[in-house]
Structure formats: structure tokens, C-alpha cells
Structure 1
Amino acid sequence: MACSDKGNRHHRGLRGPPLKRRPRRTAEEVLREESFQEKKRTIHLQRRRVRTKLLKKEIQKELKNVPKQASKNSVLFIDALLFLLFLFSVLTVRYWSYGLGVIAGVLLGMVTIASHNFIHRKNNFRMYYFQFSLQQVREFRISHILSHHLHTNTIDDLEMSLLEPLLEYLPINKTPLKRYGQALVIAPLVWLTFFHAPFVKRYKEALSCKGKNLRITDLSSFLLPLAMYLFGGRSFLDAFWMWNYVLVVGALHFGFVGLHAAHHHPDIFHDGDVPRSTTDYDWGISQLDAVMDRKEISGSHFLVLTNFGDHCLHHMFPTLDHGTLDYLYPVFKKVLNDFDLDLRMVSQWDTITGGFQQLVKVEPNTAPPDLKKYKKK
């Protein structure tokens, strides 16, 4: 016992003099400590990557309150647009009117964009409206759904790489001729050939692979020119000419709207820019970094459906009908606010000018996107 007590006294001696009692903290110090602990908890939550999971959970609850008519309206809109497309296409031939052809072309572009809503869902016949543009649903599901939606604005995004070397949106070294030539000359040519180019490429590949890349559903692309020929009252060559005219106008509309809808602006993340994080990656925030939405489009079901609107929510929940997205904004904004994040809402003019600015950009951003920049304005 004595040895034990001596050892204990020796051990206590090593510890030095007893610590002084900690003075009582002021209310300000307590609040500061609580604030510090709250920040630590927030960082911990972020590291556990609960943001996207929390958003999904909250959205699932809110979906029960979304009226079913919302998705039905999408069907009504696209079917009405398709009817008008066939009507004006036939009238274009019958009256040999390039003015009517412009209307038909714009309608074709709108139908093509609207069908994107149905391509994201399980197989349905309305997704094949997309093929009136000579594009193929199977190819688009690979380049858009499996690539673009998972690897937005990175080198793995096929919707970026398939445009190269004609249009280079990544911030890389470009000669002055390349920078301004692609913005002023090449870009319009790409828009004009947006429909014909993949068609020619597909059938060129079909020759080398004995048609294995084709499907019987590809014949749906020719229903429009067939109707123009049968009901246009003119020769096959006349109908063929006007069909191609409608395709070019439609491609111009589709290409211009698609490339200036949400993803290309100097303040949007592109591969080569400094990423937000390499260790605590959050897929949901990466989508916020790579997307902007337009004030003029959001809020209108028709405009959202025909202009790639509500694009950030669409990237978060791509299989939801575009008509339901507007009902999810209150929950979406609440979750963003809880994590001190924001959705960048800009004007249509901002996305148009930003697209051209991104084409001529050569210096990558040295800091992650400021998601609150446009809220400050």
C-alpha cells in the first residue's frame, strides 16, 4: 500500500500543480463558441455529402402534392405542336411559301426540344417525335442522358466533345482566328447543320457496319416529308426541297436555343476551371456550378418545355416531367438556403452573350463559381 501510495504521489507530482479553475464565460463568448460548433457541424454534414440526399428526400415528399394535370399538359402541348408542324409543313409546299417554311421550321425545333422531356422517361411513342429532326433517340440517350447529365461540362461530356474541333467551349489555348472565327462564322454554320450532320454521319457508318446501327423506328424521320409530298400537291422534288428548308430552319432554332439555354457562360464551370473540391465532391453542387437558369423562361410550362427551361431542377431530377418542376421550387430553394447555396437566375440575354464569351475564352477560372454572384446584383 505504501509503495502504491508513493507511486501515486510521484505520478501526481509529474502532473504538476493543479489547474486553475476556468473563469465563467461571458454571454458573447458562449455565443461565439456555439457559432463555432455550429460551423463544425455544418462542415461535418457537408463532408458526409447529405445535401443531394436531403434534397431528394424532400422532393419525394413534395411530389405527392403536385397535380397530375401538370404532366398531362406536357402531352397536350407537344401533340398540338406536332399537329401544327405537319399542317404548316404541308402548307409550305402547297403555297410554296418560305415564310410558312420558317414557321414550320420553328415548330420543328420546338417539337424536338419538347420531345427531350419524353426521352428521359421510360419508352413511349412521343419520344420518337425527336426523330422528325433526323436525329436518333438511341444516340441521344447515350450522348445526353448517359454522358451529359452525369459529366456535365467536363471532357467526358459528349455534348462538349462532339462539337469539337468546330466549337470549343473549354478554356484552352486558341488562336485569335480560332476564337473569333468560331464565334462569328462557325457557330451559325453548326446550328444550321445540327439536324443534317448526325444523319449523314449515321448513314455513312451504316455502310461500314452493314446497317447494324439502324432501327426500324428510324423510318419515323420520313413521315414528315411523306406527308408534305402526299398533301402538298406538288412534285416529289418540290416536297423534298421544302422539307430540307424546314429542317435547316428547325436546326437553326434547336442549335441556337440548345447551346444558349443553360450551360455556357464564363461564370459557369467548364473542365479546366478550378473545381469546387477534389476531396469532398458533391454531385448536386457540381450541377449548380454547371448550370444557369433564365428568368424569362421559368414560370411558364410551355416555355420551359420548349426551351430547356428549369434546367437546374431538370438536371437534379431528369426523369420528372417538365410540368412538375415549377411546383418543386419552394422546397428546392429551402434546401439551398439551408446549405447557404443559391441557384443562379439570369436573363436570356446573359446566356446568349455568355455563350459567345465562352467560345472566345482561353483563361480558365482560378476560383470555383460564385453561386451567389447574381443574387447580389
Structure 2
Amino acid sequence: MPPQSDFVPKSTLGIVPPATRKHGAALTVDLWLEEKQDTDGAEGLWRVHDNLYDLSDFIDKHPGGDEWLVVTKGTDITEAFEVHHLSAGPEELLKKYFVRKASKKRNAPFTFKEDGFYKTLKKEIQKELKNVPKQASKNSVLFIDALLFLLFLFSVLTVRYWSYGLGVIAGVLLGMVTIASHNFIHRKNNFRMYYFQFSLQQVREFRISHILSHHLHTNTIDDLEMSLLEPLLEYLPINKTPLKRYGQALVIAPLVWLTFFHAPFVKRYKEALSCKGKNLRITDLSSFLLPLAMYLFGGRSFLDAFWMWNYVLVVGALHFGFVGLHAAHHHPDIFHDGDVPRSTTDYDWGISQLDAVMDRKEISGSHFLVLTNFGDHCLHHMFPTLDHGTLDYLYPVFKKVLNDFDLDLRMVSQWDTITGGFQQLVKVEPNTAPPDLKKYKKK
């Protein structure tokens, strides 16, 4: 066990963190999964609400791919089950695999009551999806494939003409492709999700840290996307020295952005070489298709192509890291574990997402910007398996249900989310009241 850190998180939601979280960051996605088996009360099975199911015989039949069930065995998949399945079919199928009631209460306060906000919204969205044009999702495919073509083209031209300016364009394209591929990672297995791996990141790791952790317990101490950044970047409202607060915002954050792609790659292969890693996949070889093309068609030496490839990676990481960390979740008015929550026992999961998200006015309304900038973020969190292109068509229903429940979606400017991200890093005092979802509507 690593030595005790000054950062010992305590959840105001009552969530018990995985063991290593008490001593700093959960070091790997697999360690996080293993330790959740101790906190989730799934007893070696799959937990949904207060019931335990044995889905072993269903793993190979799962329409979304077997990996989702393989990695979640022994954990609580309540939120994942609820938000990833829009129809009633999976609920009926699940009954077939019931084993027994769980003996421990859930390690999360989030609820999905039939007459609650999220379930009501889900039913209304199901109806509205019939009216969404199919071309919407087809446009997402056209956008990402075009971006991928341009990425390879400009990456090769970067080497051929030895141009750092072209390298910046290639890097931005890499960042955009990586963000856009996230749209496909959320869905059943498909080849476009592997576009993500041109950034040296890995689909499996991202599905665990982003989809199974961050998306479901957003901004809590069980949000792996935050704990993997600690102690370099600490977004939770905890005691920090002035040097730590402003050093994070002014120095460390830019360095984290620049290494966003290289760092997980180095960690993954370091673990593999030490025989501790079990996370390598044959599909990881797709990461090297870009430098191979740069070498074969760039007309220069291998070392030249390798140098420019890394330059493109750094620019792409800067773009991806900056956009990702300032897209929706970090602002002093957004709930972070440690702040006073709405409830610690009966917290509608959909409302928890409203509390943990802000959307950007400049991004919403543009399919291309939404796809390449983590746009329409709240609706995406609510219904992550839907293509980004469909989300804009769902706002009328979304707004109606929000109004029925006297709630609101906070729409702010891009500048608000950028400055808010830095303000959250220097913040030390927790909010003493739940988020005011009407605050920005009053402006």
C-alpha cells in the first residue's frame, strides 16, 4: 500500500472510495475495478439496484460486446444498466438471471424512481427518438471519416515539408478525431471507436475510466477521471497551500495537457514490462498506423517521421486536454464531492447530472462542434449511447421535462467554462448549498 497522502477524501454523498483512493490516486483502471468489488456489495456477481444477477451465460450474447460485462463482474452496474438501455427489453431479460437480493446497501445515493426526473425524461426521449432523422447519425460518420483523412494527409505533409505549422494543423485534427471518436466508444463495438487510439490512448481504459466511472458518478470521489489526475490536478474542494493552488492552475495544468497522450501510453507499457500489466490488446497496434504512414509517405528518415509524430501528438494532447477539462464539469458553481449535495440517500441520478454539468452556448446547435468539442454534454451524459447528431433534436422534450420538474440546464459561455476550470483548481472551500440550477437563467 502506498504511503498515506495529505489528501484523504471524504465524500459528502456517503460514497466509500476504493482503498487506494484514500492514499492518493487509484493507479490503474484495473486496480480501481478490483477494489470496487470490495465496496459495491455485488458478491462476485453483477448488481443492479438491490438485486444480484449472474450474467455469466449472457456475456457472449451481450449486443454491445462482451467487454462491458467482463470488466464489470463483481461490481454495481445500476447506473450503467439504467442509462445504457433505453427500451424495456433489457429489464425483462435481466429477470432471467436473478440470483438473490444484495446483503449490503448500495455504495451510492443515486435513485431511478419511475416517477422521478430521469425515468420520466427517459420515457419521453424514447418516444421522441422515432422522429429523429437517420441522417443525423450518418453525418457523424461523415465528419469523423473526413477528419481522419485530413489527419493522415496533414501528418504526412508535416514530414514531407518539415513544417511545424502543418504539424499544428495535424495536431488539432488529431485532437478533434480523438474527441469525435468518443461518440463511437460509448456504443456497441465498432471499428470507428479505434480512431481514438491514434492518440496513444486505449479504448478499453477509456471505457472504464470515462464511461463506467466518470459518466456514472460524475465529480464524486468515485470519478476515476479525477483521481487519475491527482495529485497533479485536484478539482475537489480540499485544503491546498497557495503554492499548490496557483501552481496547479498556472504551471501544472498546461504540462498535464501537453502529456495527455504520452502519459497513459508510458504507464501502460511500463506496467506490461514489469509483468504487472494485463491491459495490452492486439488492437493497440492501431496506434502506430499514423507514424507508419508518416514514415512511408513522408519521404524522410524514420527518425524524422518519429520526431514529427511526437510533435503532432503533443499538439493534439494540448488540444484534447484543454477542451476536455474545460468542456462541462469544472466550475465553482458545479457540484464536486465535498460540496453540500441535494441528498445523501435519495438523489435522482438525472438531477445529479444537472448539478455536475454546464453546457456551452457557442457549441450547442452545431453538429460538427458538438461532435468535436464534447458538446451537448448534459444530454450526452443522460443518454450516452445516442449518437451526438441526435441530441439537438431532443432539446424540446428535454426542456419540457425540466420545466415540469422545476429544473434547468445551465447554459453558459465557453469563457465561463474555461475560467471556471481554473477557479475550481484554486478553490478550497466547499459550497455550503446545493447548486442553483436557475442562477444562470436569471442573468
**What TM-score results when the alignment is normalised by the length of structure 2?**
0.73
In the TM superposition, residue 170 of structure 1 has moved relative to its aligned partner by: 0.5
More helix by share: 1
Query: C-alpha deviations, 1:211-261, integer Å up to 9, x for none?
Result: 632111000000000000000000000000000000000000000000000
8 Å contact from structure 2 (residues 155, 294) kept in 1: yes
The change in CA–CA distance for 1:29 and 1:152 in structure 2 (over 3 A counts) is closer
**Deviating runs (4+, > 3 A) in structure 1?**
4-13, 20-36
The change in CA–CA distance for 1:328 and 1:25 in structure 2 (over 3 A counts) is closer
In the TM superposition, residue 22 of structure 1 has moved relative to its aligned partner by: 52
Query: C-alpha deviations, 1:279-305, integer Å up to 9, x for none?
Result: 321000000000000000000000000
Unaligned runs of 5+ in 1: 37-52
The change in CA–CA distance for 1:226 and 1:373 in structure 2 (over 3 A counts) is same
In the TM superposition, residue 191 of structure 1 has moved relative to its aligned partner by: 0.1
The change in CA–CA distance for 1:281 and 1:94 in structure 2 (over 3 A counts) is same
| In 2, Cα distance between equivalents of 1:136 and 1:318 | 19
| In 2, Cα distance between equivalents of 1:255 and 1:218 | 21
8 Å contact from structure 2 (residues 112, 348) kept in 1: no
In the TM superposition, residue 33 of structure 1 has moved relative to its aligned partner by: 27
| In 2, Cα distance between equivalents of 1:364 and 1:238 | 49
Report how many aligned residue pairs link the two structures.
354
Matches within 5 A, 1:37-48: none
Structure showing greater radius of gyration is: 1
In the TM superposition, residue 336 of structure 1 has moved relative to its aligned partner by: 0.2
The change in CA–CA distance for 1:22 and 1:74 in structure 2 (over 3 A counts) is closer
Matches within 5 A, 1:239-254: 239-254=305-320
**Which 10-residue stretch deviates more, 327-336 or 23-32?**
23-32
* Secondary structure in 2 matching 1:27: coil
The change in CA–CA distance for 1:90 and 1:173 in structure 2 (over 3 A counts) is same
Matches within 5 A, 1:80-229: 80-209=146-275, 212-229=278-295
* Secondary structure in 2 matching 1:170: coil
The change in CA–CA distance for 1:58 and 1:179 in structure 2 (over 3 A counts) is same
The change in CA–CA distance for 1:317 and 1:95 in structure 2 (over 3 A counts) is same
8 Å contact from structure 2 (residues 326, 417) kept in 1: yes
In the TM superposition, residue 277 of structure 1 has moved relative to its aligned partner by: 1.3
The change in CA–CA distance for 1:324 and 1:236 in structure 2 (over 3 A counts) is same
Q: Does 1:25 align with 2:109?
A: no
| In 1, Cα distance between equivalents of 2:153 and 2:171 | 12
In the TM superposition, residue 278 of structure 1 has moved relative to its aligned partner by: 1.9
| In 2, Cα distance between equivalents of 1:156 and 1:10 | 26
| In 2, Cα distance between equivalents of 1:93 and 1:76 | 26
Query: C-alpha deviations, 1:263-288, integer Å up to 9, x for none?
Result: 00000000100001123210000000
| In 2, Cα distance between equivalents of 1:367 and 1:331 | 29
| In 2, Cα distance between equivalents of 1:215 and 1:12 | 18
| In 1, Cα distance between equivalents of 2:195 and 2:333 | 34
| In 2, Cα distance between equivalents of 1:125 and 1:9 | 19
Q: What's the Cα RMSD here?
A: 14.5
| In 1, Cα distance between equivalents of 2:295 and 2:129 | 45
Query: C-alpha deviations, 1:169-205, integer Å up to 9, x for none?
Result: 0000000000000100000000000000000000000
Query: C-alpha deviations, 1:123-163, integer Å up to 9, x for none?
Result: 00000000000000000000001000111000000001000
In the TM superposition, residue 21 of structure 1 has moved relative to its aligned partner by: 54
- Percent identity of equivalent pairs: 95
The change in CA–CA distance for 1:22 and 1:267 in structure 2 (over 3 A counts) is closer
The change in CA–CA distance for 1:238 and 1:338 in structure 2 (over 3 A counts) is same
Query: C-alpha deviations, 1:40-61, integer Å up to 9, x for none?
Result: xxxxxxxxxxxxx110000000
8 Å contact from structure 2 (residues 360, 413) kept in 1: yes
**Which 10-residue stretch deviates more, 100-109 or 209-218?**
209-218
Matched with 1:363 is: 429
| In 2, Cα distance between equivalents of 1:89 and 1:83 | 10
* Secondary structure in 1 matching 2:116: helix
Query: C-alpha deviations, 1:62-121, integer Å up to 9, x for none?
Result: 000000000000000000000000000000000000000000000000000000000000
* Secondary structure in 2 matching 1:150: coil
The change in CA–CA distance for 1:202 and 1:28 in structure 2 (over 3 A counts) is closer
8 Å contact from structure 2 (residues 295, 305) kept in 1: yes
In the TM superposition, residue 9 of structure 1 has moved relative to its aligned partner by: 75
Matched with 2:64 is: 12
| In 2, Cα distance between equivalents of 1:7 and 1:127 | 20
**What TM-score results when the alignment is normalised by the length of structure 1?**
0.86
| In 1, Cα distance between equivalents of 2:362 and 2:299 | 41
| In 2, Cα distance between equivalents of 1:321 and 1:177 | 42
Query: C-alpha deviations, 1:12-55, integer Å up to 9, x for none?
Result: 99xx99xx99999999999999999xxxxxxxxxxxxxxxx110
| In 2, Cα distance between equivalents of 1:226 and 1:360 | 42
| In 2, Cα distance between equivalents of 1:9 and 1:154 | 32
Unaligned runs of 5+ in 2: 1-55, 66-88, 91-100
* Secondary structure in 1 matching 2:431: coil
| In 2, Cα distance between equivalents of 1:159 and 1:252 | 17
| In 2, Cα distance between equivalents of 1:83 and 1:252 | 21
| In 2, Cα distance between equivalents of 1:223 and 1:7 | 31
The change in CA–CA distance for 1:181 and 1:29 in structure 2 (over 3 A counts) is closer
